[in-house]
Structures are given as C-alpha cells and as structure tokens.
Structure 1
Amino acid sequence: MESPVITVTEGQLRGYRRKNLDGKEFYAFLGVPYAKPPVGELRYQAPEPAEKWNGVRDATEDGKPSYQWDGQNNKLIGSEDCLHLGIHTKTLPSEDSCLKPVMVWIHGGGFAFGSNSSTEYGPEYLMLEDIVLVSVNYRLGFLGCLHFEDTSLNVPGNALLKDQQLALKWIQKNIHNFNGDPNNVTIFGESAGGASVHYHVLSPSSKGLFHKAVLQSGVTFCPWARVTELNVGLQFAQIVDQHIQTEREALKMLRSLTAEELFEAQRKFIAKYGRQLKIAPKIEKPNDSAIITSLSQDIIVKGQYNKVPLMIGFNTMEGILYGIYQQREKEQGLKPDYFNLDKYVHPHMLIGNDDPKRKLIKEKVRKFYFTENTVEMANYLMSTDGTYTAPVVGTAKLHAKLQTEPVYLYCMSLDAGLNVLKRSSGFTHIPVFSGACHADDLGYLFQAPLKPNNLVRGETELTAIRRFVKLWTNFAKYGNPTPQGNDLNLTWNPVNQEEVNYLDIGEELTMKMNPEPERLKLWKEIFQLSPYTQYYLQ
C-alpha cells in the first residue's frame, strides 16, 4: 500500500499506517513543524510560524524533544529545533468527507521534561475512537520559561505556552486536511500539561482556538505551576558569569552559548536554587503576545476567561510521586527530610519566612497529618492534598460557580497493572504505596512500553482502557463524558452549587459527592489566610 501524502499550508507530508489496540489501521504523521526553529535571536522569544518547504517532507518519525536530561540513560537529549506535532487520524479527506472531533494532547513533566513521543504516549488506545489526535512538543526548562523584567528585551516569559498557542493556531488552519474539525477541538493535558491547558482556558489570546478542556492532575492553582519570584533570568545568567550586572548583558551572553552550555548552566542553577518556583510560567506584564497578565483566581472570579465545558481530576495518592523520590534517597544512604513543613506553605500565598502566618500554617499541617500517621504516610498525604487535590478540587468548584458550561470532576482510585509511574518506579511492593500515584492515569489513555515499565495489561486493564478512552472521547465529541444512551450505562453529574459531584474511577465507575471533606476543610482554612489564594478552595 502506498504511504499517505497530504498537503498542509507549508507543503506536503508523507505519513504511514499504524494499528490501534484492536488491530485496525489509522494514519500517523510525525515531526510536523508548526514553527521556525527557535534558535539564534528567536531563543527565548515567542515562536514564529513555520516556513514552507519544497517536495514531500518525511513525517514517519518523531521529531526531537526539547533539550532535557534523560535520567534513565544519564545523558542530555533533544534539540532546540523541537517545535513539532504528531497527528493521528483514522481517515483522510479522500476517504471520508465527515470532519472528526480533534483532541490536542499537551504532555507533562514539570515544564522541564517530556515530549510528544509516539512511543511513550502511544496513540493506540485513543485511536480506538473516530477522532483526530494531535500531540504537541514545546520548549522546556529555561528555553521555554526564561523571562526578563526589562520589557525592551522582548523576553516576557511563557515561551512554552506561546509555543502551544501557535500549535493551536496551526491546527485551526490545517487540521481539516486530516479530517479534523477545527470547530470541535478539545485540549487536554496532565500535570504541567494540565496546568498549561488551564492557562489557555484563562488566556484571552487563546480564545476560539479550542472548545473544551481536560485538566488532569494539574491546574494553575498548583504550587509548582507559576513562578512567583523576580529576576530569575539575571540569576540564571550569573550562574555562567557572576560579573553580569544587567538583564541586557544577560540576554546577550545567554544567546551566545550553545544549547549544551545552557543546559549545564541550568543544571548548576537547579542544584543551587531548586527547580520549583524558578522554571514555570509567570504572570506577564501586558504585551502583544501575553498569555496571562493577572492572578488566575482573579481572572476566574471576574469571569474573564474562555468559558468552555471542563473535565478536571486528580488521583487518590498523587503524593506517592514524592515518596518515590524519598525511597530513592533511602537507597542511596540519604535521610529524607520528612519534617520540613515550609514546603507545604503554598508559594502563591506570598507569606514570608518571618510572617506569623507561616508558623500557624506549619502547626496546622503538623497537627492534622502527623497525629495519626507514620511520617512517610503524613508526607504522602500532605503532598497529595496541598499540591494536587486541594488546588484541583478548588479549581473545579470555582469554575462551576462562575460558568453555565458544565464542569466534570473525577478522582482516579484504580490501582492496577497500567498505573504507569508507580509501576515503573519499582516500588509497588511497599504497602504505603497503595492508591493511584501522580501520572498513573496516563497508562490507560496512552500505550507505553510494557516490559521496561513493569506494566501488565490483562482483562482488568483492558476494561479500564476502554472506559477511560470512552469517557475522554465522549467529552471531546459531545462536551459530556456520559451522553444519553452511552455504552457505560452511567450518568456523570457535573459539579453544582450545592454539591461537589465527582466520578470515582476505580475498578468500577461510581458517582460520589464531596471528596476528602476533612482534609479539604484544612486547606480551605489555609488558603484563606492570604488574599492571593483566598479563592483557591471556596
């Protein structure tokens, strides 16, 4: 059979055929550029549209990821030339004139790791359904997040969000060539990808580029989702040259370095200052390409955002992610710092080290979590609640109060053979590691390599895959994960003014109300101690 060739704005693409979980064929087009390589003077700036090419471009292999450290193989991987898409469709316009719902995946990885790899995020599960699936690669680390306060330098930050936005614009222009409907686009992402999706929901400049959104274990209210400090760009440059005094000098010097030299500087910077609060999106000063210029909670409360149907969720034990880090520290002979409660004072609260409220928050947290739990379990629960559950549930509640479009909330409790992060860690034998860890949902939406990740795909997992896929694609098709007459024989009720309805996704699908009331009551009290987070959990 001939390889499929299609035409987009920039030229022709040659793709190839793959098979979904049921062995049925679909088309794949990989490494499709949506922007110029962001190198030279474009380093750190908003992306520019891709240039045209001559001839037929090969689109049968993934493009390179953004520069990052590959911890498994202990080496630097990637390229600055990383702004590309993976596109998957069951039919082409020559075969079917009916346009299909489009689902656009934004990967997670703490704004510093990950890619749209069709191996790690295999499309075989979602392509059971008649949709068009697009996965986005974007700049990571300081390549995607660096910012300077001097507006004349035109480096206001959020390049990674602007990459994603340009990808959405490319999709609007071109997705019909893949039988995708530009008027029915759902953006979805997990962790940093979920927070990215939330930023686009809140951004006036992303209006009209999508019509529904799914936020998985990541929202802008999460403590890691926004930089709260100033002058990070200058700090970063001074890691390379301590004599740098101005942001203009810093930018000139940073643009002169190779990508490898930049990454080595980033490694040293993280070792000195840490990654959280440094590498993430930020509130920009108003500018022509700005994504977000106000606090997220203020944008939502004022109703000045893109009001679309939302699906938002979390996993029961997201904090096992940090337990995995602590377990690895133990194996290296290190002693994890279980009692550092400062990290549970949400940085968005802007509470200083000497503020009496900081001591009050730490005492509330200590008393609530450490009284009846082991120190390990106390840490996992604190991480789960303060970092994920409270911000996620609070986001769902606040949006539900301020829009007529439905907001669907879920909690994943399933603990089975495709819980990808927990099983790949190798620590599933540890009793306190029960429940669904951060990123465990990904194994039921995307096919990942089984053997190196210790994954098992039996009947329980196959049933779960089909449920996840049906819920997510129904939402993309209809704006409702359980439309009337759905195959799941389920009605997923949205969050309303009276009750926080949510779907418990376990071995069965069960509607419940008001998740973790006592734990969330604590975080509501904490968030209301600061005007900057007072609406985080109403």
Structure 2
Amino acid sequence: VHHQTLIPANIGMFQRAISMSGVVNKQIIMNDNDLKKVFNMISDKTDCKQENKAELLMCLQKLTPTEILGIVNIYEFMTPDNYTEEMLIGPSIDGELINGQLYETMHDRSSPEATFFRSLDFMSGTTNAEGSVLFYSLMPDFQETFNFSVEDGIPRRALCEAIIPGLIQGLYGNRPDLSQRLCEFYTSDKGNDDQSNQALAFYGDLTMVAPSTSALIAHSRKNTAHRTYNYILSAPSPVPFEPPPPAWFSGAGHADDLYLLFDMPILPTKNRLEERHTTLSSRIIRYFTNFAKTGDPNSEELPVTWPPYDVQTREYLDFDFELSVNKDFHVDATRIFQPQLRELFQNEKQEL
C-alpha cells in the first residue's frame, strides 16, 4: 500500500491509504545483483532463458501460477551459518513508475513522490511482535549449525553471530560497529524466553517498526493539510495467522490484525473468539471505516479519541482489549536504525 502512495502516476486514484504491517524500506527496490540472481534461477528451472527482459517476460507469461511460484525461493540463497534476506522479486527503478529509491525520496518534500504522498491522508501501524516472521524462517540447517531448536528458543549466539550481521549487511552494508551495538541492545539477562522474544523484536524493529516511523515522520512533518495516524496492535490472536508459535512467544504476531479487521466468520478463528475479541474487532473496523470515509478515524460511539500523529508528540492508538493512547513505540530501537530522523532526538533526555 505504501509503495502505491509514492508513485505519482497514481494521482487522483485514491485520497487515503492504510499501510498495515509494513512500509517501503531499504530493501523494497531490487538492485542489479538481485535481478541477475533471479534471471539465473529462472534460466535453471524453466525453458525461459532469454537475456532480453521483454522476451523473458513474454516467456514467463506462458507459465502456470504454480510453475512461477516454484521458481524463486529465498531460502535457496541462505547458508547454514548466516541469515540474509534479499528482495528477489519486487519493483525496480524503471524511469517510468519508479525514478529513484523511494525510501529516500519520500523525505524530499520537493520530489514528486513526496508531494503525492503528503497530499493523502495516511495511516500506518504494526503489531507489537512483527518479528514473529523470524521464528518460522530460521531453516533447520541454520538451527543445526548453531545447535538450537526454535521451539526451545533463539539463543543470543545465533542472534549476534548470524541474524543481526546478516540482516544488517543486506540493509546497511558491512557495519560491524552497528551489529555489535544491536547485539548489546537486544541482549537480555531475563532468561531464555525473553532473549528469544528480543530476537524477534530485532527483526520486527528493523524491517517494519522503524521504517513505519520513518514513513509517519515523512508524511506528517510540516504537513497541516493532510492527516497522519499511527496504531499498534497488542492484543494476541486466539489463532495466530502464521504457523503455531513456540510456547515462549509473546505478543501479537505479524498479520494477527487481519481477523480483527475483516471479521472473518467462516474461519475456525470464530469458534475461539471471546466477547473481548469481537468488541475489539468492531472498534477497529469502525475506526478504519471512519478514516477511509473522511480521513478522521474518530466518532462519538468510540471510547477513545485517536489523536493524529505529530512529529513532536508521536502518539499512537494501542489496539489492546483496553484501548489506550501512548507514544514512541520502540523509540530507542528506532533511534539506532533511523539516526537521520532528527525529531526522535529532540528533548531526548525528557523522552528517555
């Protein structure tokens, strides 16, 4: 969704956008190395061996969806002693729809991308444990190399020696200083369960929470004409969206807001819902519907007034079973990942 708000060709197509659990980040644009890897993989697994991109695309269009989905697998690029993620299929700079790195141009208020983005009403939010993506993406070979099982927990050694350096390499380049700082930041002395959840917090902060804060600030900075809103979902799901989480997992995982927003009566989830789940669901639906209609999520029947996101106050609505307004979700981590966001460092002593 956020990607679409940064394409000026979409002017006039919509007036508001809600970006859930993810925004444009440093990985969103494919680079030449990614393209070469994908082309090589396609060539190895199909009869589409054309070097000309137009001819290759025509060949791919003849494949079935099942064949296409079976071509590219990110796990084939992972090694047992490292953890990396690459944007193997995604948008690229084509000089037509995308003219540059969207993650950077959204902060340049003179750019066409930022001008369009800031002409919309924008809402962005995450769950409080987006890093749940990590526990089911750690492959068996990786777990064997570091002598652990995800079901029992994610040890500090795996986090600091492989997960952090691997992801930082992909997003920031070779930064051992940053990796060491993050290792110290996400190290816990409160036991195995907390250390495991800290590993998930690293992944979620890096890939979703910090980029979301960046997008919120880019949109709301000196923007009085259009509104910005931020939310966090804290209420755990009775039936998580992803594979069953380990016993040590705590929080609302990635995509655990979907059953609440879409009120899915035909799914098994419905049989496990309590009244508090249906109440929260109806409130989220009302807030989001109000925003979609008017740009303001609030209405008289809702119990808590949701304040707009402002670069000075940085407030968000916490969707827990008891709604509350808070500020600066995981701000200490975001300061590490986004040191260029000067608003996060103003009055730092008071905020900390």
Q: TM-score when scaled to structure 1?
A: 0.52
| 8 A contact 2:313–2:327 mirrored in 1 | yes
* CA separation of 1:326 and 1:238: change in aligned 2, threshold 3 A: closer
Residues 348 and 426 of structure 1: CA distance in aligned 2, closer, same or farther (over 3 Å): closer
| Larger Cα-atom Rg | 1
Question: Structure 1 pair 378/278, CA: closer, same or farther in 2 (3 Å)?
Answer: same
CA distance in 2, matches of 1:408, 1:261: 39
Whether 1:297 aligns to 2:115 is: no
Match of 1:426 among 244, 249, 255: 244
In 2: Cα distance, 1:506 partner to 1:438 partner: 15
TM-score by length of 2: 0.77
- Higher alpha-carbon deviation: 335-344 or 384-393: 335-344
1:316 aligns with 2:120: no
Match of 1:368 among 156, 165, 185: 185
Aligned residues: 316
Distance 1:246 1:443 in 2: 43
| 1:509 paired residue number | 323
Q: Which AA in structure 2 matches 1:298?
A: E
For the residues of structure 2 that align with 1:248 and 1:397, how far apart are their CA atoms? 37
Answer yes or no: is 1:279 the counterpart of 2:88. yes
- 1:327 and 1:495, CA in 2 relative to 1: closer, same or farther beyond 3 A? same
Whether 2:229 is the aligned partner of 1:398: answer no
- Cα distance per residue 1:466-498 (max 9 Å; x no partner): 101110001011100014xx2114321112231
- 2:236 is aligned to 415
Aligned partner of 2:223: which letter? Q
The answer as to whether partners of 1:420 and 1:442 remain within 8 angstroms in 2 is no
Distance in 2, matches of 1:362 and 1:272, equals: 24
- What do residues 310-368 of structure 1 show as CA deviations (whole Å, max 9, x unaligned)? 1111111111232244598879x97565441223316343x2xxx4xx21121111111
Structure 2: where are the runs of 5+ without partners?
79-83, 151-157, 346-352
Residues 318, 384 of structure 1: 8 Å contact kept: yes
Which residue identity lines up with residue 277 of structure 1 in the other structure?
E
- For 1:449 and 1:205, the matched residues in 2 are separated by 37
CA contact (8 A) 1:470 1:481 kept: yes
2:23 counterpart residue number: 219
State yes or no: 1:228 paired with 2:61: no
2:258 maps to 1:442: yes
Cα distance in 2, alignment partners of residues 249 and 476 from structure 1: 38
Q: Which residue identity lines up with residue 300 of structure 1 in the other structure?
A: M
> Which deviates more, 516-525 or 249-258?
249-258
The percent of aligned pairs where both chains have the same amino acid is: 21
Measure the CA separation in 2 of the matches of 1:280 and 1:537.
Answer: 33
Gaps of 5+ in 1: 1-196, 529-533
1:67-111 Cα deviation digits (max 9, x unpaired): xxxxxxxxxxxxxxxxxxxxxxxxxxxxxxxxxxxxxxxxxxxxx
Superposed CA deviations along residues 403-433 of structure 1, whole A, max 9, x for unmatched, are 321111111111243x5415xx3337x1x31
Equivalent position SS for 1:440: coil
2:208 is matched with which residue: 372, 388, 412?
A: 388
> Structure 1, residues 285-327: CA drift from partner, whole Å, max 9, x if none?
213xx2x211123322222332211111111111123224459
Q: Which residue identity does 1:411 align to in structure 2?
A: I
Distance in 1, matches of 2:57 and 2:124, equals 41
Q: Secondary structure, in 3 states, of the residue corresponding to 1:301?
A: coil
Matches within 5 A, 1:133-532: 197-221=1-25, 225-230=28-33, 231-232=35-36, 233-240=38-45, 244=49, 246-247=51-52, 251=56, 254-255=59-60, 258-259=63-64, 262-263=67-68, 266-267=71-72, 270-273=74-77, 276-287=85-96, 290=97, 292-303=98-109, 304=112, 305-306=115-116, 307-326=119-138, 335=149, 337-338=158-159, 339-340=161-162, 341-345=164-168, 347-349=170-172, 351=173, 355=174, 358-372=175-189, 374=192, 375-404=195-224, 405-417=226-238, 420-421=240-241, 425-427=243-245, 430=247, 432-448=248-264, 452=268, 456-483=272-299, 486-525=300-339, 528=340
Once the two structures are superposed, what CA deviation does each residue of 1:192-237 show, in whole Å capped at 9, x if it has no partner? xxxxx1111111100100011101111002x553323443353233
Indicate how the Cα distance of structure 1 residues 488 and 379 shifts in structure 2: closer, same or farther if over 3 A, else same: same
Specify the code of the residue in structure 2 equivalent to 1:279.
Answer: L
Superposed displacement of residue 389, structure 1:
1.1
* Aligned-pair Cα RMSD in Å: 3.5
Counterpart CA distance in 2 for 1:537 and 1:450 is 43
Amino acid corresponding to residue 237 of structure 1 in structure 2: I
Matched AA of 1:315: T
- Larger relative helix fraction: 2
Shift of 1:243: 11
Distance of 1:464 and 1:324 partners within structure 2 = 27
Q: 1:403 to 1:427 in 2, by over 3 A?
A: same
Seen in structure 2, the aligned counterparts of structure 1 residues 372 and 224 have a Cα distance that, compared at 3 Å, is farther
Q: 226-235 or 300-309: which moved more?
A: 226-235
Distance in 1 between the 2:329 and 2:301 partners?
Answer: 26
Matches within 5 A, 1:73-152: none
CA distance in 1, matches of 2:91, 2:272: 39
SS, match of residue 367 in structure 1: helix
**How far has the Cα of 1:463 moved from its partner?**
0.4
Partners of 1:455 and 1:280 in 2: CA distance: 37
Q: Secondary structure at the match of 2:318?
A: strand
Alpha-carbon separation, structure 2, partners of 1:302 and 1:264: 36
Q: Give the distance between the partners of 1:249 and 1:242, measured in 2 at CA.
A: 15
| 1:22-46 residue CA offsets vs partner (Å, 9 max, x unmatched) | xxxxxxxxxxxxxxxxxxxxxxxxx
Amino acid paired to 2:284: F
1:309, 1:479 within 8 Å by CA — same for their partners in 2? yes
Offset of 1:385 from its aligned partner? 0.9
Cα 1:346/1:492, change in 2 over 3 Å: farther
